[in-house]
Amino acid sequence: MTHQDAPAVAGIDVAVPSVARVYDYLLGGKDNFASDREVGDRLLAIAPDTTRTAPIHREFLVRGVRYLAGIGVTQFVDLGSGLPTADNTHQAAHAVDPRCSVVYVDHDPIVLAHGRAILADHPRTAVVQADFRSPDDVVSAPGFERLIDLSKPVAWLMLSVVHHLGDEENPNALVEEYKSRMTPGSHLFLSHFLRRPGDERIDRLEAVMQESLGSGRFRTQDEIEKYFDGMEMVHPGVVSTALWRPTAPVAPGDLETSHILISGGMAQKT
C-alpha cells in the first residue's frame, strides 16, 4: 500500500517530508507520501548512481548485527532505527540467536506506530519513541528498561542517524556520552554520510536535505573515524559499507555506489 493522501498516523502532516519516510522510499518501502518521494527523487536526480546506496546500507546493517550476535552479543539498541522494513535488526539478530533483545529508538511517531504493530508478536523487542540526543530519555523508557541490562555488553547501533545532527549540536559529545555509558565488551556500530574530497555533488545533496528535511551533514573520513576514538576497531575499520566484511564478492557497481555516500564501522569498548 502506498499512502497518497491519507495520514497513516493521527497527527502526521503528510505534506512535510520526514527523514524516516524519505529513507523508506529510498529502500523501496511503501510507508511514504508524495512529499517524501519528491525529496528522494531530488536526491536521486543529483546522484542517479546512488539508487543502490540504501539497500547496500541495509545489507551492511544485517552483516554487522549477525556478526555481533555471532560473537555472543545478546542486547541491541538501534538508535534512529527508521521504519520497519525487510531485514530489520531483530530479524538479523534472531536468525543467529533468538534470545537477543532488540530495542528500536526513533523520534518519528510513524516509526512507533508501525513498529509496535509489526513487533507485537516479538516479546524480545520494543520500540521506544525518544530523541536520541537525550540519552537519559532513551535509557529510562519502559521498553528499554524491560529489555536492556546496561551492566552487560550492549551493541549500540547509530546507523545513518548521527549525520542528522548539525555541528552546533556537537555530535561527538553525544557519541562520547553514549560511550561513557557502555560497559566493557559493548560495541558501537556507526555509519555516516561521507564527504568525499572533490565530489561537487555533496554540497548539492546536503543543500536539498537541509532545505527539505532540516538536517543532513556529510562529514570527512577523519571526522567519522573520530566517533570511534578510544575504542578497539573491528576489522576492517571505517570503510565504504559495501566493503565492510562482505560475505560475497562485491559487484564493482555496488562498490562505486556505496563509496559515494556512506562510510561505516564497528568498534568495541575494552
Ligand X SMILES: C[S@@+](CC[C@H](N)C(=O)[O-])C[C@H]1O[C@@H](n2cnc3c(N)ncnc32)[C@H](O)[C@@H]1O
Considering beta carbons, is residue 59 or 75 the nearer one to ligand X?
A: 59
In the complex with ligand X, which residue's Cβ is closer, 23 or 218?
23
254 CB-contact burial (10 Å; exposed 0-12 / middle 13-18 / buried 19+):
buried
193 binds ligand X (CB under 6 A): no
Please state, in angstroms and rounded to a whole number, the distance separating the CA atoms of residues 212 and 55.
22
Cis peptide before 142 (omega within 30 of 0): no
Specify whether the CB–CB gap between 119 and 149 falls below 8 A. no
d(CA 179, CA 45) in angstroms, rounded, equals 37
The residue assigned the cell 546496561 is 150
Of the candidate residues 73, 113, 161, 231, the single one contacting ligand X (CB under 6 A): 161
Q: Give the nearest distance from C-beta 270 to ligand X in angstroms.
A: 25
Rank residues 40 and 153 by Cβ distance to ligand X and give the closer one.
Answer: 40
Closest distance between ligand X and the C-beta of residue 19, in Å? 4
53, 75, 125, 160: which one contacts ligand X (CB under 6 A)?
Answer: 160
Sequence-separated (6 or more) residues with CB below 8 Å from residue 18: 36, 108, 110, 213
Three-state DSSP at 65 gives helix
Q: Which of 37, 114, 124, 164 binds ligand X (CB under 6 A)?
A: 164
Helices marked H in the chain: 19-26, 34-46, 53-70, 89-96, 109-119, 135-140, 142-147, 171-180, 201-213, 221-226, 252-261
CB closer to ligand X out of 3 and 230: 3
Please give the C-alpha separations between residue 51 and each of 29, 40, 222, 260, 268, in angstroms, as whole numbers. Answer: 13, 10, 26, 11, 31
What are φ and ψ of residue 189, in 5° steps?
A: -120, 110
* Residue 240 contacts residue 256 (beta carbons within 8 Å): no
Single residue of 3, 66, 122, 133 touching ligand X by CB under 6 A: 133
260 belongs to the binding site for ligand X (CB under 6 A): no
Give the binding-site size for ligand X (rule: CB under 6 A): 20
Contact positions with ligand X (CB under 6 A) in 4-43 = 19-20, 23
Of the candidate residues 39, 43, 56, 61, the single one contacting ligand X (CB under 6 A):
61
132 part of the interface to ligand X, by CB under 6 A: yes
Q: Is 159 in the site for ligand X (CB under 6 A)?
A: yes
Show the site string, 78-117: x = touches ligand X by CB under 6 A, - = not: --xxx-----------------------xxx--x------
Q: How far is the CB of 20 from ligand X (least distance, A)?
A: 3
- Nearer Cβ to ligand X, position 184 or 260? 260
| 56 binding ligand X? (CB under 6 A) | no
- By the criterion CB under 6 A, which residues form the site for ligand X? 19-20, 23, 57-58, 61, 80-82, 106-108, 111, 131-133, 159-161, 164
